[in-house]
């Protein structure tokens, strides 16, 4: 069984993934894959081509023309991209084909050993991956909790946090498309208990 784990930024998706890992369930994390993919020279080249040199880290390697040594600043890229739907769409078209390819390879490899696999995909609905999963588990929080988590964790301003949230699909749309929903606006103990209930429901 393959479970698609999704939810907006700052909803506690990664915490749920960690709870599941501790129970011996493997998790394929597409955010980790995206951090790998953004280091590929061909991806860096396309990102710079579309968004300019200002997305690069301030390193001496970035002064040279060598894309093999250049590094994208995720923070700078986010500030440029999340204000503009068109730019989000361009970035997705660069990143997502590679992320999905690697995700599928890792899923196939784990299927040989495990009965249950979880795949953590923040933009599962936005990139139409519903058909890849047997069950979709949605984690959500109220917007204020989301904003405060993003500001604390990622050192973003309130405006930046809202830009990121608003660039993602509306939560009510996600709820309609999900098989199981966990609200995470409480403490860790409550979240643990909700995850337990979810696993019991799987039978």
> How does pLDDT run along the chain (203 residues), one tens digit per residue?
999 999 988 888 999 999 999 999 999 999 999 999 999 999 999 999 999 999 998 765 444 455 556 899 988 998 888 888 899 889 999 999 999 999 999 999 999 999 999 999 988 998 899 999 999 999 999 888 889 888 988 888 899 888 888 888 888 899 999 999 999 988 899 999 999 999 998 87
Q: Check whether residue 202 and residue 135 sit in a common domain.
A: yes
Query: Do 40 and 19 reside in the same domain of the chain?
Result: no
Which neighbouring-strand residues pair with 76? Answer: none
122 and 190 inside one domain: yes
- Whether 59 is in a domain gets the answer yes
Same domain, 203 and 118: yes
Q: Which structure tokens are listed for 145? A: 């909790």
| CA distances from residue 82 to 86, 91, 159 in whole angstroms, order as listed | 9, 10, 11
Same domain, 124 and 69: no
Q: Which pairing describes strands 180-183 and 117-120: parallel, antiparallel, or unpaired? A: unpaired
Please give the model's pTM, rounded to 2 decimal places.
0.83
131 and 187 belong to one structural domain: yes
Domains in the chain: how many in total? Answer: 2
Calpha distance 133→203 (Å, rounded): 17
Task: Let me know whether 43 and 140 are in one domain.
Answer: no
Give me 62's structure tokens: 């970035």
- For residue 106, tell me if it sits in a domain: no
C-beta separation of 82 from 164 below 8 A: yes
Is residue 72 domain-shared with residue 7, that is, in the same domain? no
Is 67 within a domain?
Answer: yes
Do 92 and 58 reside in the same domain of the chain? yes
Residue 120 shares a structural domain with residue 21: yes
Residue span of the structural domain in which 162 resides: 1-26+114-203
How confident is the model at residue 177, as a pLDDT? Answer: 96
The owner of tokens 């405006």 is 159
């Amino acid at each position: 069984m393959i479970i698609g784990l999704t939810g907006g930024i700052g909803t506690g998706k990664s915490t749920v993934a960690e709870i599941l890992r501790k129970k011996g369930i493997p998790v394929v994390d597409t955010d980790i894959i995206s951090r790998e993919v953004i280091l590929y020279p061909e991806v860096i080249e396309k990102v710079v081509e579309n968004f300019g040199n200002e997305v690069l880290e301030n390193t001496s390697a970035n002064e040279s023309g060598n894309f093999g040594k250049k590094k994208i600043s995720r923070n700078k890229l986010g500030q440029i991209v999340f204000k503009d739907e068109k730019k989000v769409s361009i970035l997705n078209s660069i990143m997502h084909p590679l992320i999905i390819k690697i995700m599928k390879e890792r899923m196939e490899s784990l299927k040989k050993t495990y009965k249950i696999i979880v795949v953590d995909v923040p933009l599962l609905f936005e990139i139409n991956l519903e058909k890849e999963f047997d069950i979709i588990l949605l984690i959500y929080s109220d917007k204020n909790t989301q904003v405060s988590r993003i500001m604390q964790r990622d050192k973003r301003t309130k405006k930046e946090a809202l830009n990121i949230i608003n660039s993602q699909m509306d939560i009510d749309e996600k709820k309609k498309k999900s098989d199981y929903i966990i609200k995470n606006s409480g403490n860790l103990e409550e979240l643990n208990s909700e995850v337990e209930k979810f696993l019991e429901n799987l039978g």
